[in-house]
Chains A and B, each alone.
Chain A
Amino acid sequence: MRHRKYPFIVGFLIVPVALYALLVIWPYLQTFGYSLTDWSGESTVMHFVGLRNYTALFSDAVFRQALLHNVLLLVFLPVITILLALFFAFMLNVGGRAGTGGVQGVRGAAVYKVVFFFPQVLSIAILAVLFEAVYRSDGGGLLNGVLLKLGLEDPQHPIEWLNDPGLVLWSILAILVWSGVGFYLVLFSAAMQSIPREIYEAALLDGAGRVQTFFRVTLPLLWDSVQTAWVYLAIAAMDAFALVSTLTPGVAYGGGPDYHGEVMATYLMRNFLYFGKSGYACAMGVVILFLTLILSAIALRVTRRERIEF
């Protein structure tokens, strides 16, 4: 019955593959096609302009600034989120030293795990509303309210977190980290729990401290999860559309003040829908796609290590 195997497999695969091709691959190809035109987005008339959109893109100062912001997010978001998540996961699973001999987390670890995971449950729209209140630019905001109560700022000139060229990007980064740590904490926790206890106990017997246990035992055995987290976070850093477009000031899709909060995705959307420069926006989309692909490939390759079986 060997010859029946392939029709069987194909029979199962054909529908999902066709759907994938139709709904994912084909739009990508279309985007590439549109990126070579001067399409306005609201008509069926367009002209082929070759690579002009791409050359314009590289001399576009706003796009370069947006790209720089994405790169900054790309550097800081994965590093901060993973470090925090690893630290918390370690403390929750093996960081505690209560009792004798046993390897366990700090007291109340089960509660912390749930609490840390909360932000992950919130939809991005709720996050935006929540942080609008946190970063509010007068004394009614959570941060400014606290700073005012402590007498750390002038009530006449409260800090406008999202309207300050030097703070806006970092304010957005803080939200991304806050909302991301919980998920990676749980991811790392799950991976840590699959590490055999004996290894920790052996390390303990050999007199290893918390720091040594972490770097010599936990981290190497978690490497696969860290790698996955890195790729996901890198992709998130290339996006950041929802938060930037809802929270930062500006006429369409935020990005302000004066492009200091701009990311590639918001600039793309503004061009696509607001300026009627859809062909140009498609060129941006293609560039973002390739940047993300290259980054994922690099992240996976650079972090590749020998797998440790246990």
Chain B
Amino acid sequence: MGSTIEPNRLNRRDLIKRATAIGIAAVPASGLLSACAASGGGSKQETGKKTATNPFGVADSAGLEVIIFKGGFGDDYAKRFEQLYSKQYPSAKVTHTPTQNITGLLQPRLNGGNPPDVVDDSGNAQIKLDVLQKAGQLTDLTPLLDAPSIDDPGKKVRDTLQPGTVELGTIGGTFCTLQYVYTVFGLWYSGKLFRQHGWSAPRTWADFMSLSAEIKKAGIAPFAHQGKYPYYINVAIMDLAIKNGGPDFMNRVDKLDDTVWDEAPAKNAIEAVYQIVSNNYLLPGTNGMTHIESQTAWNQYRAAFVPCGAWLENEQLKSTPSDFEMTFMPMPSLPGDKLPFEAIRGGANEPYIVPAKAKNAAGGMEFMRIMLSKAGAVAFAQTANSLTVVKDAIGPEVQLRPGTKSTVTALKAAGGNVFNPTYLYTASQLDVDMGNASSELMANRIQPAEWLKRVKTATQKAKKNGS
């Protein structure tokens, strides 16, 4: 399934670790689950009366069991959701189980027909969602989409979500996963450092280059990247290209149309990034650094910019000086861009599910409705330092960390100009080949022309293997 945006979350390394575990877990799981789905558990579901404020008919006294993957976001945010739930149903007993081993906890419960009511199916030991869906283990969450929003009963929940949420959560034709966390991608800098030197964030690539010259003069490296994991620089290159070529360019990349690599947007983007290399604007050693090493060097003011997704603030929480003023900005504009400067890459991830045989499935959906309220989104942004798929949930009065706050501003400014290429999830070999080419380019072992040639060949290969 190509719809989980795994790489967005935390970092590339987690993804890889997770992919390993998924593969190991999913192989036996697929057999077991499908075998069990047919037998059908005999547990009775508890329901109450459906009303306007209780659209799913939650029984007042029915307990709610929540299993949360305790990873990069912690599990404090879930406790806040649970408090909100308890306020609504004071007589319901809410059980909170944080874990890093979802499969170990969930698989026997699913097979035994007595699963919990809400699961954050994420992390190293995630059970693959398409496997669960095929085995008939997931509740269809369409009623959630059509239920009234908690904040405005006149609105359906569906209309309060960021675009793409429903599509991403739909597997095999049914909306059965709620991808809750919303991540944006771009460049990051320290507001304090920039103020100290009187620099301002560049809007065009030309400004970016002249500012870089100035930064270098000040004895700071203009640009760091997570060289050991070329995923990050790939995102930067592709975002430049997509902003230059527009949505049409992105769709052609996703469809593995190899002619895009002969055209101006691809060429402009890779030549722009190569200017960082040829002008010696890279932090020394950054090409060999892990994400933590390079991001920490950036936190120590040894580099001015670093490309990353919005998980950066939470990931660097411990190494960020308190007056750092972490600030997000979109990728700078190239001449002739089809998308405005404000356009950014953004997408949802972190899947929540309600198991089909949950005793209190109605309560599970109500829990999700609370997650999708403004109070839920604010709780998440404050405790997990990340945005959610709830549109415009965070008002200016809400206290947030500076980095998260700057992503709220950027997302609002982007409006409808948010894009999210899918080739990453459907053509993983192209991603790997492009990563190798990008690493070579950043290390100045190949030039832009060679990069384009390699990526074109990789696209042809991916297309051939895909069909």
Assess the B445–A144 pair: CB atoms within 8 A.
Answer: no
Assess the A163–B443 pair: CB atoms within 8 A.
Answer: yes
- Nearest chain-B residue to A273 (Cβ)? B23
Does A155 belong to the interface (CB within 8 Å)? yes
- Other-chain residue from B26, B27, B285 in contact with A144 (beta carbon distance below 8 A): B285
* Alpha-carbon distance A136/B436, docked complex (angstroms): 20
Supply 5 further A-B pairs (C-beta < 8 A) apart from A138-B285, A158-B284, A252-B428: A155-B284, A250-B230, A250-B436, A251-B435, A274-B428
- Other-chain residue from B20, B285, B440 in contact with A136 (beta carbon distance below 8 A): B285
* Alpha-carbon distance A184/B291, docked complex (angstroms): 36
Q: Scan A42-55; emit 1 where CB is below 8 A from any B CB, else 0.
A: 11100000000000
Give the one of B19, B283, B437 with max A CB within 10 A. Answer: B19
> Which residues of B69-126 are within 8 A (CB) of A?
none
Does B287 belong to the interface (CB within 8 Å)? yes
Does B41 belong to the interface (CB within 8 Å)? no
Residues from chain B with Cβ under 8 Å of A160 in the complex: 227, 285, 287-288, 443
Does B54 belong to the interface (CB within 8 Å)? no
Residues from chain B with Cβ under 8 Å of A44 in the complex: 30-31, 34
* Alpha-carbon distance A156/B280, docked complex (angstroms): 9
29 A-B pairs with CB atoms under 8 Å apart are A41-B23, A42-B26, A42-B128, A43-B30, A44-B34, A132-B290, A136-B285, A136-B289, A138-B286, A138-B293, A139-B284, A158-B285, A162-B288, A163-B287, A249-B230, A250-B230, A250-B435, A251-B229, A251-B436, A252-B16, A252-B19, A256-B230, A257-B439, A257-B443, A272-B23, A273-B19, A273-B20, A275-B432, A276-B428
Assess the B288–A275 pair: CB atoms within 8 A.
Answer: no
Nearest CB of B to A133, in Å: 10
Does A253 belong to the interface (CB within 8 Å)? yes
- Other-chain residue from B22, B23, B280, B439 in contact with A256 (beta carbon distance below 8 A): B439
Residues from chain B with Cβ under 8 Å of A161 in the complex: 288
Task: List the interface of chain B (C-beta within 8 A of A).
Answer: 12, 16, 19-20, 22-23, 26-27, 30-31, 34, 128, 130-131, 227-231, 280, 283-290, 293, 297, 428-429, 431-432, 435-437, 439-440, 443, 445
Assess the B30–A258 pair: CB atoms within 8 A.
Answer: no
* Alpha-carbon distance A156/B109, docked complex (angstroms): 56
Residues from chain B with Cβ under 8 Å of A135 in the complex: 288
Assess the A163–B23 pair: CB atoms within 8 A.
Answer: no
> Which residues of A235-292 are within 8 A (CB) of B?
249-253, 256-259, 269-270, 272-276
Nearest CB of A to B447, in Å: 14
Assess the A42–B440 pair: CB atoms within 8 A.
Answer: no
* Alpha-carbon distance A128/B10, docked complex (angstroms): 21
* Alpha-carbon distance A269/B280, docked complex (angstroms): 36
Residues from chain A with Cβ under 8 Å of B289 in the complex: 136-138
* Alpha-carbon distance A275/B466, docked complex (angstroms): 11
Residues from chain B with Cβ under 8 Å of A42 in the complex: 23, 26-27, 30, 128, 130-131
Does A165 belong to the interface (CB within 8 Å)? yes
Residues from chain A with Cβ under 8 Å of B19 in the complex: 252, 273-274
Closest 7 CB pairs of A and B: A137-B288, A138-B285, A160-B288, A163-B288, A137-B285, A273-B23, A249-B228
- Other-chain residue from A136, A252, A275 in contact with B293 (beta carbon distance below 8 A): A136
Nearest CB of A to B454, in Å: 10
Residues from chain B with Cβ under 8 Å of A162 in the complex: 228, 288
Residues from chain A with Cβ under 8 Å of B131 in the complex: 42
Assess the B16–A253 pair: CB atoms within 8 A.
Answer: yes
- Other-chain residue from A141, A155, A258, A275 in contact with B428 (beta carbon distance below 8 A): A275
* Alpha-carbon distance A273/B16, docked complex (angstroms): 9
Task: Give the interface residue-count category, chain A.
Answer: 35 or more
* Alpha-carbon distance A253/B264, docked complex (angstroms): 33
Nearest CB of B to A284, in Å: 15
Residues from chain B with Cβ under 8 Å of A274 in the complex: 16, 19, 428, 432
Q: A-B pairs with CB below 8 Å: how many?
A: 114
Residues from chain B with Cβ under 8 Å of A158 in the complex: 284-285
* Alpha-carbon distance A51/B378, docked complex (angstroms): 57
Give the one of B280, B288, B290 with max A CB within 10 A. Answer: B288
- Other-chain residue from A157, A252, A258 in contact with B439 (beta carbon distance below 8 A): A258
Assess the B27–A137 pair: CB atoms within 8 A.
Answer: no
Assess the B30–A251 pair: CB atoms within 8 A.
Answer: no
Q: Scan A158-173; emit 1 where CB is below 8 A from any B CB, else 0.
A: 1011110100000000
- Other-chain residue from B20, B130, B227 in contact with A137 (beta carbon distance below 8 A): B227
- Other-chain residue from A138, A259, A270 in contact with B297 (beta carbon distance below 8 A): A138
Query: A163-B228, A253-B16, A256-B439 are known contacts. Are A139 and B432 too (CB-CB below 8 A)?
Result: no
- Nearest chain-B residue to A271 (Cβ)? B429
Assess the B128–A270 pair: CB atoms within 8 A.
Answer: no
* Alpha-carbon distance A44/B128, docked complex (angstroms): 14
Assess the A163–B227 pair: CB atoms within 8 A.
Answer: yes
- Nearest chain-A residue to B289 (Cβ)? A137
Nearest CB of B to A298, in Å: 33
Residues from chain B with Cβ under 8 Å of A270 in the complex: 432
Assess the B436–A259 pair: CB atoms within 8 A.
Answer: yes
* Alpha-carbon distance A156/B281, docked complex (angstroms): 10
Residues from chain B with Cβ under 8 Å of A269 in the complex: 20
Residues from chain A with Cβ under 8 Å of B288 in the complex: 135-138, 160-163, 249
Assess the A256–B436 pair: CB atoms within 8 A.
Answer: yes
- Other-chain residue from B12, B286, B443, B445 in contact with A251 (beta carbon distance below 8 A): B12
Residues from chain A with Cβ under 8 Å of B280 in the complex: 156
Residues from chain A with Cβ under 8 Å of B227 in the complex: 137, 160, 163, 249
Give the one of B228, B293, B439 with max A CB within 10 A. Answer: B228
Assess the B230–A137 pair: CB atoms within 8 A.
Answer: no
- Nearest chain-A residue to B221 (Cβ)? A156
Residues from chain B with Cβ under 8 Å of A136 in the complex: 285, 288-289, 293
- Other-chain residue from A157, A272, A275 in contact with B429 (beta carbon distance below 8 A): A275
Query: A44-B30, A165-B445, A273-B19 are known contacts. Are A156 and B284 too (CB-CB below 8 A)?
Result: yes
Nearest CB of A to B68, in Å: 25
> Which residues of A38-84 are within 8 A (CB) of B?
41-44
Give the one of B16, B130, B437, B445 with max A CB within 10 A. Answer: B16
Residues from chain B with Cβ under 8 Å of A43 in the complex: 30
Residues from chain A with Cβ under 8 Å of B30 in the complex: 42-44
- Nearest chain-B residue to A168 (Cβ)? B288
- Nearest chain-B residue to A160 (Cβ)? B288
Query: A132-B290, A251-B229 are known contacts. Are A139 and B285 too (CB-CB below 8 A)?
Result: yes
Nearest CB of A to B397, in Å: 42
